[in-house]
């Protein structure tokens, strides 16, 4: 007689227990046990004894069965621990909600074996088949990354759905509103936002002016300081450009029946001797000519302020729809669905990545329901509306490359390695390297990853060879995993946690075609109406949403999970757990470093503080 001691643990979250019947089957390399009922009224978890006529060998799999007694009662299983007759402890992480409608739940052991046992091979095949049926792709809009095939959060599997209203920013501390109110008109602050605002990836070094932007040395000579000129400043790497060409000819719609307008500006900036970045020339269209003047800091006050405001309006679209929506939310969903469809739960890469997709499928489904849908919030607050949104994201995806999602490559390609006071770069590179060391040390082998990587290439990059396929090569796995984790945590924090200062979502007059015709009243009349601005500022305020219908009835679960916090202990081996502890320790050191710097800073850059960086895209 072989006696096995089994401990089944329920998650320590609200209403995780169940009053239904739970039973367990142990599967070893030499046989399996009979199905053993654990307990009725199964609340916090329980211990039991499983008796077998013979030793089952190493326990490689468990099966959990659940039956309804009276009413359906969901159960959140944390893990199962089995102690064999020889004292060997086997741990099976679960971390899943189960209902009586679900098939028996099977969990393999800690090691991704070399497929020596047919039962394990069959388990992985069955698990992926079930997941591929549950998580299917669909096209939300032509030319967009594909997404999960659901229309409502109520269709989501309970394991990827949250049910509690979340605070939108938790403890995030955006730019101090008082500072913004006092300095929003200043050129210094205008330039600062390209480096350390919520859209820090659009600026690049300018070695030569494009023909469509006919700025002459004489135009900007007075803004460069003595003893230099435009050509010299470009040669020495102190001229930068922001080009919103992706907005060219995006159709504008109406708000409250009134026509709105969109511009596709270019902005030239100069790094002064004091290290500060300031705008020195702005053109509000991609086509130079008599009706598209180059605005300068020496122009009349309202001409120059309106030109800068048009740039900020363009930056609103670039930030919200490309930098934020496309490059974090939509790609984060692609990474999540591909992982669920192609990697079994026992795969070390699945265990490494799955915490970084926490609630991403829910928040994206919600966004498609209330934010970017026809008649949704974007339709109501932006000049482009839904039609412009669809076209803009399609154009934006055409520009996305694998390298542009990798911070070191992106910084280098944009020529932004040397400019001072670029906190997004400095803090981001520290975190990139920390994540790289972590995933490279603890990722395990490349087993079974080609199908996973190909699924991302096909459904995320839409098979465009111009996006680059380096990540499909085994030697590039560590870098690719770093990019996935960084995108779903650090990059999202950088572009989500900030305030949107002086970035109007719509403009009610067309861009000026001549200088000297803008005054205070025209400036005010060009800005969006007050209720439009209010809707822009509070896109997920409860006034817009019927939360009880959207979230569903499942009980609350802990929501905010910071970078490095892995509440679910999916790795049972000692070495991966040691690596996670080291990772957390390094993040604490980074936190202390950033807080020490911010303590003496006039304007704090705290978006990438690990204390304010979530593990996943969940808001």
Q: Is the dihedral of CA 429, 433, 434, 435 positive or negative?
A: positive
Return the bridge partners of 37, or none.
23
CA–CA separation, 200 vs 414, rounded Å? 11
Which strands make up the sheet holding 239-243, listed edge to edge? 204-205, 239-243, 266-271, 277-283, 294-295
The answer to whether position 60 is within a domain reads: yes
The answer to whether position 427 is within a domain reads: yes
Q: CB within 8 A of 31, min separation 6: which ones?
A: 52, 54, 56, 57
Q: CB within 8 A of 86, min separation 6: which ones?
A: none
DSSP, collapsed to helix, strand or coil, labels residue 15 as: coil
Residues 578, 433 share a domain: yes
CA–CA separation, 402 vs 566, rounded Å? 27
CA–CA separation, 80 vs 24, rounded Å? 10
**Tokens read off for 102:** 């679900």
**Tokens read off for 237:** 């790497």
Within 13 Å of residue 57, how many CA atoms lie on the same side as its CB? 9
Looking at residue 408, its pLDDT comes to: 98
Q: Is the dihedral of CA 180, 205, 433, 326 positive or negative?
A: positive
Looking at residue 580, its pLDDT comes to: 93
Looking at residue 558, its pLDDT comes to: 43
Phi, psi dihedral angles at 491 (to 5 degrees): -65, -40
Return the bridge partners of 51, or none.
3
**Numbered residues of the known binding site:** 17, 73-74, 324, 329, 492, 619
Residues 67, 36 share a domain: yes
Q: CB within 8 A of 524, min separation 6: which ones?
A: none
CA–CA separation, 482 vs 497, rounded Å? 21
Q: Output the pTM of the full model.
A: 0.91
Report CA-CA distances (Å) from 104 to 21, 56, 356, 378, 450. 13, 20, 26, 43, 29
Looking at residue 13, its pLDDT comes to: 66
Number of domains in the chain: 3
Looking at residue 169, its pLDDT comes to: 38
Residues 345, 208 share a domain: no
**Numbered residues of the known binding site for Fe cation:** 324, 329, 492, 619
pLDDT digits (tens, 9 = 90+) for 314-324: 999 999 999 99
The answer to whether position 381 is within a domain reads: yes
User: What is the maximum alpha-carbon separation in the chain?
Assistant: 96
Strands 45-52 and 204-205, sheet pairing: unpaired
**The domain spanning residue 512 has which CATH number?**
3.10.450.60
Looking at residue 536, its pLDDT comes to: 65
Residues 281, 380 share a domain: no
Residues 508, 498 share a domain: no
Residues 443, 565 share a domain: yes
**The domain spanning residue 602 has which CATH number?**
1.20.245.10
Residues 218, 294 share a domain: yes
Question: Which of the residues in the chain have pLDDT under 70?
Answer: 12-20, 39-45, 68-72, 99-116, 162-176, 442-448, 469-475, 499-501, 535-559
Cβ(296)–Cβ(581) below 8 Å: no
The answer to whether position 124 is within a domain reads: no
**Numbered residues of the known binding site for Ca(2+):** 17, 73-74
**Tokens read off for 244:** 């919103």
Residues 412, 344 share a domain: yes
The parent domain of residue 379 ranges over 138-169+340-502+535-612
Residues 446, 406 share a domain: yes
**Tokens read off for 348:** 């070390």
**Tokens read off for 567:** 């509440």
CA–CA separation, 211 vs 208, rounded Å? 9
Looking at residue 114, its pLDDT comes to: 47
Residues 382, 406 share a domain: yes
The answer to whether position 125 is within a domain reads: no
**The domain spanning residue 30 has which CATH number?**
2.60.60.20
Nearest CA to 305 among 523, 510, 530? 523
Alpha helices in 171-329 (DSSP H): 177-183, 187-196, 217-220, 230-235, 301-317
Looking at residue 72, its pLDDT comes to: 66
The answer to whether position 31 is within a domain reads: yes
């Amino acid at each position: 007689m072989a006696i096995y001691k089994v401990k089944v643990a329920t998650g320590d979250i609200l209403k995780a227990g169940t009053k239904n019947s739970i039973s367990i089957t142990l599967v070893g390399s030499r046989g399996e046990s009979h199905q053993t009922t654990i307990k009725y009224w199964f609340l916090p978890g329980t211990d039991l004894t499983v008796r077998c006529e013979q030793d089952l060998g190493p326990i490689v799999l468990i099966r959990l069965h659940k039956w309804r007694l009276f009413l359906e009662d969901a159960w959140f299983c944390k893990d199962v621990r089995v102690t064999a007759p020889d004292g060997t402890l086997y741990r099976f992480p679960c971390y899943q909600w189960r209902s009586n409608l679900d098939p028996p739940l099977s969990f393999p052991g800690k090691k991704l074996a070399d497929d020596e046992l047919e039962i394990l091979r069959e388990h992985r095949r069955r698990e992926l088949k079930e997941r591929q049926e549950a998580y299917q792709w669909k096209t939300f809009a032509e030319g967009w990354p594909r997404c999960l095939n659901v229309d409502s959060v109520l269709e989501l599997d309970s394991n990827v759905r949250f049910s509690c209203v979340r605070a939108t920013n938790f403890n995030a501390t955006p730019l101090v509103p008082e500072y913004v109110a006092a300095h929003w008109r200043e050129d210094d602050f205008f330039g600062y936002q390209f480096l350390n605002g919520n859209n820090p990836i659009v600026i690049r070094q300018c070695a030569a002016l494009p023909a469509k932007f006919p700025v002459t040395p004489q135009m900007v000579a007075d803004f460069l300081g003595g003893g230099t000129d435009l050509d010299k400043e470009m040669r020495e790497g102190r001229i930068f450009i922001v080009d919103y060409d992706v907005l060219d000819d995006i159709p504008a719609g109406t708000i409250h029946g009134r026509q709105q307008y969109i511009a596709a500006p270019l902005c030239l900036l100069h790094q002064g001797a004091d290290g500060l970045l300031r705008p020195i020339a702005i053109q509000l269209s991609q086509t130079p000519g008599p009706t598209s003047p180059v605005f300068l800091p020496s122009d009349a006050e309202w001409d120059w302020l309106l030109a800068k405001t048009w740039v900020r309006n363009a930056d609103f679209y670039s930030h919200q729809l490309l930098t934020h929506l496309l490059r974090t939310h939509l790609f984060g969903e692609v990474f999540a669905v591909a992982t669920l469809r192609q990697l079994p739960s026992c795969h070390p890469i699945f265990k490494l990545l799955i915490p970084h997709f926490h609630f991403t499928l829910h928040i994206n489904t919600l966004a498609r329901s209330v934010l970017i849908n026809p008649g949704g919030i974007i339709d109501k607050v932006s000049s482009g509306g839904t039609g412009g949104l669809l076209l803009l994201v399609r154009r934006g995806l055409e520009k996305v490359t694998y390298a542009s999602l990798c911070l070191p490559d992106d910084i280098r390609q944009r020529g932004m390695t040397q400019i001072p006071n670029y906190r997004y770069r400095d803090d981001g590179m520290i975190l990139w390297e920390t994540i790289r060391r972590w995933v490279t040390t603890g990722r395990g082998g490349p087993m079974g990853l080609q199908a996973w990587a190909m699924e991302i290439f096909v459904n995320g990059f839409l098979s465009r060879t111009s996006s680059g396929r380096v990540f499909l090569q085994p030697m590039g796995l560590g870098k690719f995993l770093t990019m996935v984790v960084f995108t779903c945590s650090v990059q999202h924090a950088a572009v989500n946690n900030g305030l949107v200062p002086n970035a109007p979502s719509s403009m009610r007059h067309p861009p000026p075609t001549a200088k000297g015709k803008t005054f205070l009243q025209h400036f005010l009349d060009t800005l969006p109406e007050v209720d439009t601005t209010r809707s822009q500022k509070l896109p997920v305020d409860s006034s817009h949403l019927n939360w009880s219908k959207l979230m569903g009835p499942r009980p609350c679960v802990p929501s905010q999970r910071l970078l490095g916090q892995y509440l679910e202990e999916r790795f049972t081996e000692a070495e991966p757990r040691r690596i996670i502890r080291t990772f957390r320790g390094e993040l604490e050191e980074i936190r202390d470093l950033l807080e020490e710097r911010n303590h003496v800073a006039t304007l704090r850059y705290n978006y990438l503080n690990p204390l304010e960086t979530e593990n996943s895209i969940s808001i």
